[in-house]
Amino acid sequence: MAYGPDLLIVNANVLTMDPDRPAASAVAVAGGRVVGVYDGRPDVTAAEVIDLRGLTLIPGFHDAHNHMIGFGLALTEVDLRGASLDEIYARVAATAAGVPEGEWVIGSGYVQTPDGVHPDRDALDAIAPAHRVWLKHTSSHMCVVNSLVLRDLGLDAAAPAVDGGRVAADAAGRPTGLLEERAQELVGRLTRPYPLSTLTDAVDAAGRRYRAEGITSVTEAGVGGGWIGQSPVELAAYVAAREQGRLAVRVELMVVSDVFHPLGAHPADGIETGIDLGLRTGFGDDWLRLGPMKIFTDGSLVGRTAAMSAPFAGDPGNSGYLQADADQLTEAIVEAHRAGWRVAAHAIGDRAIDLALDAFADAADQHPRPRPRHRIEHFAAARPDQVARAAKLGVIAVGQGRFASELGDGMLAAVGPSRASWLYRQRSLLDAGLVLPGSSDRPVASGAPLLGIHDMVNRRTSSGAPFNAGEAITAAEALRAYTWGSAYASKQERVKGSIAPGMLADFAVLSEDPTVVDPTRIAGLEVVGTVIDGHPQLG
Ligand SMILES: [Zn+2]
């Protein structure tokens, strides 16, 4: 008997993302790889045949920047998204009523009022005096705690200076409970590290949600340390999930720069700092691999902590700040490049973007290396000259489509009309010849890729205002970003991101073709199922 494919998918509207053959109607799979792409019904037999009856088949979505464990943990936290101050307090009170005194009440996703008012310690003390309350801002760049937590931290009465962050205080110098940027690490010391079993459960919960949304690959944007890492042994949670059959999607892990340390390698190796054993970008396999070093250069736009070259609108004294000394940040980027890492520099404000681009240029001059594919995460407020420079250096800008509707009004207010055209560029990046990935920064924003693609095309804020509409792209371009573009940003486009012989058999099945429906309907399309590693999971 001749060797045949395990799986044959027929009667499909296949959008391959392969420029040599953009459309097809059937796909054959064997051993977890695509072995044939066909027009019409192929003369092939397979162990399993799936007739899609005209549904659309695409490469599985790849979220190029998300926080998988953070999202998995947030699934168990009080949901504060879209809540007013009164609603926030009501939800905290209701949760505290069911939790023993002294335990934590953790909420996530809140936004300050339009006048800039955050929840405050005194109001939280009034409703939950005997609990430890910790409310995370939707940006992940700040949080609010109550007096019990401030007391644990020795911050009850006075606000010390914190490098790269701030303990906010009232006019009399008494902390208000708001902790910005690196000051959040103080709370992390009380709650972290989480035990591996908790983190493995979070990987499992997040992955199952991702699969249901058509996602087959994610890049996790920072593990191991800093204010964003959940445990120094976080990688082991992913390994455990995989061993237990609970890793639902393929994962590339960024490693937070805070855990880099001198290694004592031979001077000829050019590896001064890194992580133990010389592990670096590229180590791993198609399911679990090490991605870039993640380094934070600045903060958030909505929270007005991003490093700008001129002050925020209506806020003349505030141009934000860098998260560390500029020379130290530059040196960390150049050293990581030299040691063979891809680098993902979080840079939101144009001053931070300058720093990252300068560092990538220095790295290329001092230690030439072919196609390092360094990235700037967010690239949120970028001047026109910075687009041209990123293109010249081959630096990939990793934006978040869904921010338009969920955070767009706050971002427009932060930069003002004169800089609105700098925000979350797409069109100008493609026009400059750059590859555009797709990502969500979940749990900062909703992570379903069809929501992201909807916003990449429609570019409207939640109030209905246009969000830098000149940077809108077509649905076909957005779909390509969320599949092939993200694979490219992970240097994985030779194995995934398109449907062609030899590629991993990772697909999503959509109820309709996003490239032909009315663009305002994209968010409402359904994900009917996924295939990963050749294994179908159809609803
Ligand atoms: Zn992020």
Residue 318: the pLDDT is 95
* 66 C-alpha to ligand 1 centroid (Å): 6
298 neighbors 351 (Cβ within 8 angstroms): yes
* 235 C-alpha to ligand 1 centroid (Å): 17
* 141 C-alpha to ligand 1 centroid (Å): 9
Percent of the chain, pLDDT > 90?
91
* 228 C-alpha to ligand 1 centroid (Å): 9
87-116 pLDDT per residue, tens: 999 999 999 999 999 999 999 999 999 888
Mean pLDDT score, 373-401: 98
459-495 pLDDT per residue, tens: 999 999 999 999 999 999 999 999 999 999 999 999 9
Mean pLDDT score, 401-426: 96
* 13 C-alpha to ligand 1 centroid (Å): 34
Look at strands 288-296 and 343-347 and give their pairing: parallel
pLDDT band at 364 (very low <50, low <70, confident <90, very high): very high
* 444 C-alpha to ligand 1 centroid (Å): 7
| Residue linked to tokens 């960390």 | 332
* 65 C-alpha to ligand 1 centroid (Å): 6
pLDDT band at 1 (very low <50, low <70, confident <90, very high): very low
pLDDT above 70: residue 497: yes
Which residues fall inside 5 Å of ion ligand 1, going by CB?
221, 441
What Å distances lie between residue 282 and 218, 259, 291, 333, 493, CA to CA? 15, 18, 6, 17, 13
pLDDT above 90: residue 163: no
* 406 C-alpha to ligand 1 centroid (Å): 15
pLDDT above 60: residue 2: no
* 305 C-alpha to ligand 1 centroid (Å): 15
* 469 C-alpha to ligand 1 centroid (Å): 23
Mean pLDDT score, 148-172: 92
* 267 C-alpha to ligand 1 centroid (Å): 34
pLDDT band at 215 (very low <50, low <70, confident <90, very high): very high
Q: Which two tokens stand for residue 423?
A: 């925000």
Mean pLDDT score, 243-252: 98
Q: Which two tokens stand for residue 60?
A: 């599985």
How are the residues of the chain apportioned to helix, strand and coil, as percentages rounded to the nearest 5? 30, 25, 45
Shortest CA distance to 460 belongs to which of 404, 410, 419? 404
* 25 C-alpha to ligand 1 centroid (Å): 37
* 64 C-alpha to ligand 1 centroid (Å): 10
* 529 C-alpha to ligand 1 centroid (Å): 27
pLDDT band at 3 (very low <50, low <70, confident <90, very high): low
* 505 C-alpha to ligand 1 centroid (Å): 28
**Mean model confidence pLDDT for the chain:** 95
* 26 C-alpha to ligand 1 centroid (Å): 37
Whether residue 193 has a cis bond before it, omega within 30° of 0: yes
Mean pLDDT score, 122-131: 96
CA distance 391 to 483: 20
* 14 C-alpha to ligand 1 centroid (Å): 32
Look at strands 175-181 and 165-169 and give their pairing: antiparallel
| Torsional class of 278: left (φ above 0), alpha (ψ -120 to 50), beta (otherwise) | left
Residue 76: the pLDDT is 82
* 297 C-alpha to ligand 1 centroid (Å): 12
Q: Which residues pair with 137 in a beta bridge?
A: 110
* 538 C-alpha to ligand 1 centroid (Å): 30
Cβ neighbours of 291 (radius 10 Å): 28
Shortest CA distance to 119 belongs to which of 136, 102, 105? 136
